[in-house]
């Protein structure tokens, strides 16, 4: 900062202008400003960028005692407006007069127009400066840390007891007697501690720790959409085949050699093979009614692609067959041991063979598929809860027990609907499917919508072939599966009923 910048700018003062002088008397022993800072060091004018801070001392009559600190590179400017403790300046110890030159309006100073030579154009206000208004500054090095001191003995509003005392005084001063009795009763019933009236900084820190890493409503909805309880899917797929890849079905690897999909393909082409499949048993009547669907052409494909699609639909129909049986099986299954027949043909109780899991006969569903369904859609029960809940696993000789929670049963229902959609070229009759699943259309329609299907009921009477509820997967190449899946919204709280 140059010397010219420190001088008052009075270039606008005319040479022969009249200046009036006004003396402002001292007030309250000149305890409060304006303050004058005096720096006795030669060439010690604070450079630009000096950061100044001021505070009061934590002492009696601290209202008249102020500390000033200016921090810059290398040194600190330290000053106070008081003498050492016990030696305070006299209230009338005037050392300086602070002058401020201000222009005067046209209507002041006896002049009504601009041509009056006796009109006062400027006014010099003089104010006595002394005592506590003078701050003597000293230059000191950074080795000594001049910071704002702690306020010992002052009321800490972060202390719940201090705030409770403030609240009690306000309650006594402004509340009615009835309100005071009500508050006293409430406070008597609960114990007031640090957790009851939390400090502001403690409350803020607790909220930050509790909400650290939390997601907002939109992020939670997106995460819930990614964790839908539906079969494995591709949200960016634009056609029905790629939306739910069949090779991601948990038992897909077992369908080739452990199901009757080849017999179903032959039955779709030859009536004799259909009769043989029907007479052989082991296939549900509902499944037999869908076998002719395998011979239908999907269209828009070569012969090789059509054969691959027919093979896929046949495997889906075979999977639908055992999934319907598993859907109506018991929700709790325990391990069993094989028994050996003795010489007379009776069971040998002394022999205990290998343990196995079964929820139907082996002639109906292959044993490997039965075990795979248990592993995919059931949870092992331990003593005291599941394994994730800290339960105790059974011993090596004890039979294990498995249960199927509701979420897994809903997932089995979704797989059943999805298999029926694959067989019927993604256009299934919900009335017939619901009758086989022993579920009403009202209960089946929400599950179809979870898969992104559109559920519609045809017009007309059932006697005329109408009134049939059908579910279709509307993916024609223009929309993705993510677009047709139901949107997950925040659950709105019910409005509180008014009395």
pLDDT tens-digit readout, 157-216? 677 787 788 788 888 888 888 888 888 888 777 655 555 566 677 778 888 888 887 877
Beta bridge partners of 96: 129
Q: In which residue are the tokens 């009504």 written?
A: 112
Q: How confident is the model at residue 1 (pLDDT cuts 50, 70, 90)?
A: very low
Q: Is the pLDDT at 127 greater than 50, yes or no?
A: yes
Q: Residue 111: its pLDDT value, please? A: 45
Q: How confident is the model at residue 311 (pLDDT cuts 50, 70, 90)?
A: very high
Residue-level length of the chain: 499
Q: How confident is the model at residue 30 (pLDDT cuts 50, 70, 90)?
A: low
**Distance between CA atoms of 366 and 375, rounded to whole angstroms?**
15
Torsion from C-alpha of 413, 414, 420, 424, nearest 10 degrees: 150
**Distance between CA atoms of 357 and 336, rounded to whole angstroms?**
6
Q: Residue 90: its pLDDT value, please? A: 56
Q: How confident is the model at residue 453 (pLDDT cuts 50, 70, 90)?
A: very high
Mean pLDDT of 18-43: 73
Q: In which residue are the tokens 């004799």 written?
A: 272
Nearest Cα neighbor of 255 from 313, 191, 337, 182 is: 313
So where are the chain's domains?
Answer: 3-141, 155-191, 240-424
Instruction: Tell me the pLDDT tens digit for each residue of 252-275.
Output: 999 999 999 999 999 999 999 999
Residue of higher predicted confidence among 83 and 36: 36
**Distance between CA atoms of 308 and 316, rounded to whole angstroms?**
12
Q: Is the pLDDT at 9 greater than 50, yes or no?
A: no
Beta bridge partners of 134: 36
Q: Residue 58: its pLDDT value, please? A: 61
Q: Is the pLDDT at 144 greater than 80, yes or no?
A: no
Beta strands in 72-214 (DSSP E): 75-80, 94-103, 122-130, 134-141
Q: Residue 460: its pLDDT value, please? A: 81
> By percentage, how much of the chain surpasses pLDDT 70?
74
Q: In which residue are the tokens 């030159």 written?
A: 101
Q: What is the mean pLDDT of the chain?
A: 79
Nearest Cα neighbor of 263 from 248, 253, 275 is: 275
Instruction: Tell me the pLDDT tens digit for each residue of 398-451.
Output: 788 899 999 999 999 999 999 999 999 999 999 999 999 999 999 999 999 999
Mean pLDDT of 348-356: 64
Q: Residue 389: its pLDDT value, please? A: 53
Say how many C-beta atoms besides its own lie within 10 A of residue 350's C-beta.
7
Q: Is the pLDDT at 461 greater than 90, yes or no?
A: no
Out of 179-188, 292-301, 428-437, 479-488, give the one with best mean pLDDT.
Answer: 428-437
Q: Is the pLDDT at 327 greater than 50, yes or no?
A: yes
Q: How confident is the model at residue 92 (pLDDT cuts 50, 70, 90)?
A: low
Spatial contact of 1 and 48, defined as CB atoms under 8 Å apart: yes
Q: Residue 175: its pLDDT value, please? A: 84
pTM score, two decimals?
Answer: 0.55
Q: Residue 8: its pLDDT value, please? A: 42
* Lowest-confidence region among 122-131, 347-356, 475-484: 347-356
DSSP state at residue 300? S
Spatial contact of 431 and 444, defined as CB atoms under 8 Å apart: no
Q: Is 219 exposed, middle or buried (0-12, 13-18, 19+ CB in 10 A)?
A: exposed
Q: Residue 11: its pLDDT value, please? A: 47
Q: Residue 128: its pLDDT value, please? A: 80
Looking only at the bridges linking them, the beta strands covering 385-386 and 401-403 are: unpaired
Q: Residue 4: its pLDDT value, please? A: 38
Q: Is the pLDDT at 3 greater than 50, yes or no?
A: no
DSSP state at residue 27? -
Q: What backbone phi and psi angles, to 5 degrees, belong to 436?
A: -75, -35
Spatial contact of 229 and 403, defined as CB atoms under 8 Å apart: no
């Amino acid at each position: 900062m140059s010397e010219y910048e420190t001088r008052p700018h009075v270039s606008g003062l005319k040479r022969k202008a009249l200046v009036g002088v006004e003396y402002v008397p001292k007030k309250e022993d000149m305890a409060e400003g304006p303050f004058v800072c005096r720096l006795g060091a030669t060439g010690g004018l604070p450079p630009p960028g000096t950061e100044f801070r001021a505070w009061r001392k934590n002492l009696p009559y601290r209202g008249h005692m102020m500390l000033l600190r200016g921090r810059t590179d290398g040194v600190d400017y330290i000053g106070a407006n008081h003498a050492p403790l016990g030696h305070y300046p006299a209230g009338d110890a005037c050392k300086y007069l602070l002058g401020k030159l201000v222009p005067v309006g046209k209507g002041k100073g006896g002049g009504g127009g601009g041509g009056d030579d006796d009109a006062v154009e400027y006014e010099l206000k003089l104010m006595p400066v002394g005592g506590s208004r003078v701050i003597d500054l000293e230059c000191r090095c950074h080795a000594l840390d001049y910071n704002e001191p702690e306020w010992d003995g002052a009321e800490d509003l972060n202390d719940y007891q201090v705030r409770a005392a403030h609240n009690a005084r306000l309650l006594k001063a402004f509340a009615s007697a009835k309100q005071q009795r009500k508050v006293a009763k409430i406070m008597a019933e609960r114990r007031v501690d640090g957790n009851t009236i939390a400090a502001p900084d403690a409350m803020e820190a607790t909220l930050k720790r509790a909400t650290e890493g939390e997601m907002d409503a939109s992020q939670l909805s997106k995460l819930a959409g990614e964790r839908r309880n539906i079969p494995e899917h591709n949200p960016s797929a634009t056609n029905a085949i790629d939306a739910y890849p069949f090779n991601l079905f948990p038992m897909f690897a077992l369908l080739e050699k452990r199901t009757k999909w080849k017999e179903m393909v032959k039955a779709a082409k030859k009536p004799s093979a259909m009769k043989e499949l029907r007479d052989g048993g082991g296939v549900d009547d509902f499944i037999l009614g869908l076998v002719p669907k395998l011979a239908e052409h999907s269209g828009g494909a070569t012969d090789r692609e059509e054969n691959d699609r027919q093979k896929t639909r046949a495997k889906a129909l075979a999977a639908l067959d055992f999934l319907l049986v598993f859907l109506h099986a018991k929700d709790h299954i325990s391990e069993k041991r094989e028994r050996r027949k003795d010489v007379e043909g009776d069971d040998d109780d002394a022999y205990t063979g290998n343990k196995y899991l079964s929820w139907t006969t082996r002639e109906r569903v292959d044993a490997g598929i039965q075990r795979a369904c248990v592993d995919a859609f059931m949870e092992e029960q331990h003593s005291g809860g599941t394994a994730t809940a800290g339960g105790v696993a059974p011993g090596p000789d004890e039979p294990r027990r498995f249960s199927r929670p509701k979420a897994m049963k809903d997932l089995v229902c979704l797989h059943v609907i999805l298999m029926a959609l694959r067989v019927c070229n993604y256009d299934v009759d919900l009335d017939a499917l619901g009758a086989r699943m022993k579920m009403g259309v009202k209960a089946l329609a929400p599950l179809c919508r979870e898969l992104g299907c559109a559920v519609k009921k045809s017009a007309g009477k059932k006697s005329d072939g109408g009134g049939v509820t059908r579910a279709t997967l509307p993916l024609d190449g223009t929309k993705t599966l993510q677009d047709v899946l139901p949107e997950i919204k925040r659950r709105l709280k019910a409005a509180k009923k008014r009395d």
